Structure 1
Amino acid sequence: MKQRILLAAIFLSFALNAQIKLPRLISDGMVLQRDTKVKIWGWASAKEKIELDFNHKTYKTTSAENGKWQIELPSQKAGGPYEMTLKASNTIILKNILFGDVWVCSGQSNMELPMDRLKDKYKDVIAKSENANIRQFLVPDQYYFASEKEDFTSGEWIQANPISVLQFSGVAYFFALEIYEKYKIPIGLINSALGGSPAESWISEESVKKFPYYYTEFSKYKDGTLEKQIDENDRKVSNDWYKLANTTDEGLKNNWKNADLDDANWKTMNVPGYWADNELGNINGVVWFRKEFTLPTVKENTAKLILGRIVDADSVFVNNHFVGTTSYQYPPRIYSFDASILKEGKNEISVRVINNSGKGGFVLDKPYELVLGNDTLDLKGLWKYQLGAKMLPLPSPTFVRWKPVGLYNAMIAPLKNYSIKGVLWYQGESSTKKPSEYFALMETLIANWRTQWQQPKLPFILVQLTNFMEPKSEPVESNWAELRQQQLNVLRIPNTGMAVTIDLGEWNDIHPLNKYDVGKRLSLQARKLVYREKNLIASGPVFKAMRQKENKLILSFMDTGSGLMAKENGILKGFAIAGNDGKFVWANAVIEGDKVIVWSDVMINPSKVRYAWADNPLEANMYNKEDLPASPFEADLDGRK
């Protein structure tokens, strides 16, 4: 009896193992690349015969000894939906398949940032987003060092509608919307991006060998031992820190969220602002804030509390009712709640803020208000505050997920068999610590990806870093500006393009909300570079050459379109010049035809020029008449830049 049970189990196991299995990408709703051969692949038992029925034709193959198999379909025109049937010991029917253009959308958080974070800014766009021809596959955020992964642990193709579009990358969605509206072809977006990731984490093991430091760093993690030790230690340090903060927080012990709390002895500070700039000083831990406000009769069913951004984490209560929480500093604080918890007369907001390092508080130049229907109550001004728990700074985690090669292995390598149209790349903020190496990293990454997809001319379109941080009144050195120059240099690589966004940022937010114009400018680049639209102005002015005439520098530009112009008051700004000593001063600048003349009355022999060279060059205002901004740049007379 036992023998028969054992044999039955063996045969059952063999039958299950023999079934064909498909990668996550090859699934219902997928968008396959038009006008090129495409691969359908998967796994089965060794030497298993597999049939694929598609579009009234049958394709056959036999799996290899290791169970892998692959079928190549001939080129197809844009269109659909289609069905595809795969047969072996089991049958799989794939439905709702489209042929169109597939774009890999990669980089860090500004590419990853979903439409959900933009829903208040783009309400009308989201409401009208129903479109079965725009689809996204969201690659799970994972890293792996031991080898290249062959599949993802999760992921599915979803088509755009007012609910699902909230999961789409904002930049990628607006790009897809522009391309679809222009050409009416299905667009598939593969969203493979991770916040905070540097360029080297997206390069393969073999390619990263060109950078000994990064290869050595990667090698430490390859067997998984160090990774596990670091993750366990980081988790323990973080858990212990927050446990101590919670157990010592006087606000939790004494219910400081209570609307009836006597806070007469609490100190006051202006919100928005940082407590390090006030009497409390530069400490970390838990600080509670309270604000009393008065309302007439409340007639609305729902209310919305907007609290800008808070560093780092917050929990918010209105009249002793919990209304929302956010665990890290970057997302906008927008909390909708049942307006029945509000009352006529006096009301109370309590905010528990946890700051684990740096300056804690409320980010400046953001909205702080209560919205009830068409009425808005401004909440800026004096708030009461009290220290709940003073803590030592939480040590920064190691961020193993950003180490070299890890993201390539887990988030790019499984895509290699999937034919694509091109790559959209928005990354660089995390690489500003070492900007001088960025061109070499990107040159390697682009070559690496082109080899992986076996497309030597794979289009690669990047987003140049936007303006960010406080502006400076004098010319200064800037790692952000240096990295923008490195990104500009990437255009030397054939079949690349770049969307300039120097006018789309927010000084106080590394994640600016204007993702529509980023997507639109990427689409202009694609229309010119990939879709070969003639006579299209896809870029703002790009520096080309420079010569000296007496004490002036004469600059010429590409992509001037219908002509150069200075926005705002018509006076060209943002230029600085230097002599051989490298000390830059602000320069006068005027447009003469398709050239710009720059000079300074305090400099006799200028040899270097910079434009928009700052973290946040607010006064840079050179555009072409198509309203596209000039790229920041640096150049000198001997041709270096």
Structure 2
Amino acid sequence: MNYIKIVQVLVVVLGITTVKAEVVLPKFFSDHMVLQRNNNNPIWGTAQKGEKIMVSIAGQSHQTKADKNGYWKIRLDKMKAGGPYKLIVQGDNKIELNDVLIGEVWLCSGQSNMGWKVGGTTYADLEIASANYPNIRLLKAPLQGSLTKQYDLDAQWEKCSPENVGSFSANGYFFGRRLHQVLGVPIGLINVAWGASALETWIPREAMDAAGTYTEMLSQWDERMSNFTDKTLKKETKAYEVWVKSGKKGKNMSPVRDHRIGQNTPANGFNYMVHPILGYGIKGAIWCQGETNLGRSYQYRRMFPLLINTWRELWGQGDFSFYWIQVAGMKTKPTAPEQSYWAEMREAQTMTLKLPNTAEAVVYDLGEGNNIHFKDKQSSANRLVLHALSKDYNYKIKANSPSYESMKVKGNKITITFKDVSSKLYAFDVSTVKGFTIAGKDQKFVFAKAKIIGKNKVEVFANEIENPVAVRFAWANNPDANLYDKTNLPVTAFRTDNWHGISYQKEKANR
């Protein structure tokens, strides 16, 4: 969509007419908002064509005129953390936004393990009762998608309190609370996470089209959307209701979704929840998503970097920090070496660390076998915020989990060397190192014995493998692995081989 079309749509969305128009701001420019410190924050809106607009805050003023389509935008001078301030927008009418703070703003996105509420976490009652943080501000986007780009969110900033924190993102809140406690500045958290959302719903359609590698997937969705009507929705809903009343006999059915506004349709989540806030001043983004894309990890290797690069380009703030929480452990502990969609997804996420200003929190050990929404969001947020404190705010804190660096084969043993080890490695809970498997050239893995032989080295072997060629660690849906750094960060799951996984076979079969 070109610039002229964008502003024409924006004019309609924000209620501007060609006869008479007041200055209008998007709803998320509201009382109690937080603006990013040390940033030329943009403020934008609509007005009558040619109308003079003045924006002022904390002694600075900026003037502009609404263009021929009624759109205007200014950028504030950089400000230090502080407030509260009053932001005034003056045109033919006057808008006053009160209790505006300057601090650190972070975007929180992904699917349900980012959207999971504080009220559903460990010690939820205690967390809610103690959430008296008026200088932490919360903005929560409505959970809806759109086939077309939207230009406003029906959401406003709120002060964090026991009355509202229970329904906010747990990972987001615990991350922001730690920042607030350490930095001592206001924190703004923007929650645009949506349960069960697919990665592709968060990427603009134009970016996927331009990539040229998602043509088949997009074509299938286009066909589905062209045939999806109110009549289709009614018919599918009725069929599902009949199936439920029958005691769910016969072929299993899923609850009916309106894919026109749903969270799996490509670009839907981006169009409705992200596009309206593009350019709003932020420090960075935190992310937790992947379960919906299980079985498509080879595609994820390309698509996840596409999302990050595209958001950064459209935001216009350079390579802002982008940190994510890996998918956690799920299902039963392995009784034999296994192929794993979950492990392959973690691998795809780790591979995305090749992008600048990225980091991940390793959390396979926090998962619950029978609960995809693990409750210990405090620990996952702690591991995530270590990266922000270390990389964005220059605290001397160990943040990276140890990860695979190299291997050396000698006889029937393989020595693995790790990077990002602080003082030393250790086996948690029991002295036996658990989580390693080993294989020969026949690609048949067996559980391995492992011994820590130095600060950052582990010797791996199995009596039944005379000529080993590959090692894997924590390679399972729900790994039984206990190798940690002394800072209590688990070693990142890895494999030394590049043999095709089960996701590759599945994706190949579906092409």
- Alignment-derived partner of residue 90 in structure 1: 93
CA distance in 2, matches of 1:227, 1:511: 34
CA distance in 2, matches of 1:177, 1:65: 44
> How much has 1:227 moved relative to structure 2?
6.8
Instruction: Tell me the secondary structure at the aligned position of residue 366 of structure 2.
Output: coil
Unaligned runs of 5+ in 1: 1-12, 247-283, 286-355, 357-389
Matching of residue 150 in structure 1 with residue 12 in structure 2: no
- Alignment-derived partner of residue 10 in structure 2: none
Q: Deviations over 1:345-400 (max 9, x none)?
A: xxxxxxxxxxx5xxxxxxxxxxxxxxxxxxxxxxxxxxxxxxxxx67643564662
Q: Deviations over 1:458-485 (max 9, x none)?
A: 1110111111012220001001001111
Q: Deviations over 1:122-156 (max 9, x none)?
A: 3222111111111111111121223x32212x111
> How much has 1:530 moved relative to structure 2?
1.5
**Paired residues of 1:501 and 1:518 also in contact (CA < 8 A):** yes
- Alignment-derived partner of residue 435 in structure 1: 297
- Alignment-derived partner of residue 128 in structure 1: 130
- Give the alignment's TM-score, normalised by structure 1: 0.72
Question: Is the radius of gyration larger for structure 1 or structure 2?
Answer: 1
Q: Deviations over 1:212-242 (max 9, x none)?
A: 464454467679962742x642343224543
- C-alpha change, 1:214 and 1:590, in structure 2 (3 Å) is same
Matches for 1:561-576 after TM superposition, within 5 Å: 561-576=422-437
Match of 1:553 among 399, 411, 414: 414
- Alignment-derived partner of residue 312 in structure 1: none
> How much has 1:410 moved relative to structure 2?
1.4
- Alignment-derived partner of residue 328 in structure 1: none
Matches for 1:55-454 after TM superposition, within 5 Å: 55-118=58-121, 121-146=123-148, 148-152=149-153, 154-210=154-210, 212=212, 214-215=214-215, 217-218=217-218, 226=226, 228-229=228-229, 232-242=231-241, 245=244, 285=247, 356=248, 393-394=252-253, 397=256, 400=259, 401=262, 402-454=264-316
- Alignment-derived partner of residue 623 in structure 1: 484
- C-alpha change, 1:116 and 1:239, in structure 2 (3 Å) is farther
- C-alpha change, 1:578 and 1:225, in structure 2 (3 Å) is closer
CA distance in 2, matches of 1:30, 1:100: 10
- Alignment-derived partner of residue 538 in structure 1: 399
Matches for 1:593-608 after TM superposition, within 5 Å: 593=454, 594-608=456-470
Instruction: Tell me the secondary structure at the aligned position of residue 342 of structure 2.
Output: helix
Between the two proteins, the alignment pairs up a number of residues equal to 481
- Alignment-derived partner of residue 635 in structure 1: 496
CA distance in 1, matches of 2:367, 2:120: 16
- C-alpha change, 1:637 and 1:470, in structure 2 (3 Å) is closer
Instruction: Tell me the secondary structure at the aligned position of residue 503 of structure 1.
Output: helix
CA distance in 2, matches of 1:532, 1:225: 48
Q: Deviations over 1:86-133 (max 9, x none)?
A: 111211100010111111100001101111223x72322211111111
- C-alpha change, 1:612 and 1:245, in structure 2 (3 Å) is closer
Matches for 1:10-29 after TM superposition, within 5 Å: 17-29=20-32
CA distance in 2, matches of 1:442, 1:29: 33
What code does the residue aligned with 1:502 have? Answer: Y
- C-alpha change, 1:66 and 1:221, in structure 2 (3 Å) is farther
CA distance in 2, matches of 1:113, 1:227: 33
Unaligned runs of 5+ in 2: 1-15, 502-511
**Paired residues of 1:467 and 1:501 also in contact (CA < 8 A):** yes
- Give the alignment's TM-score, normalised by structure 2: 0.89
Moved more, 450-459 or 502-511: 450-459
Q: Deviations over 1:579-613 (max 9, x none)?
A: 22211111110001120110111112111111011
**Paired residues of 1:85 and 1:92 also in contact (CA < 8 A):** yes
- C-alpha change, 1:465 and 1:221, in structure 2 (3 Å) is closer
Q: How large is the Cα RMSD of the aligned pairs?
A: 2.3
CA distance in 1, matches of 2:471, 2:333: 19
% identical equivalent positions: 36
Q: Which has the higher strand share?
A: 1
What code does the residue aligned with 1:43 have? Answer: T
CA distance in 2, matches of 1:115, 1:232: 38
What code does the residue aligned with 1:79 have? Answer: G
Instruction: Tell me the secondary structure at the aligned position of residue 192 of structure 1.
Output: strand
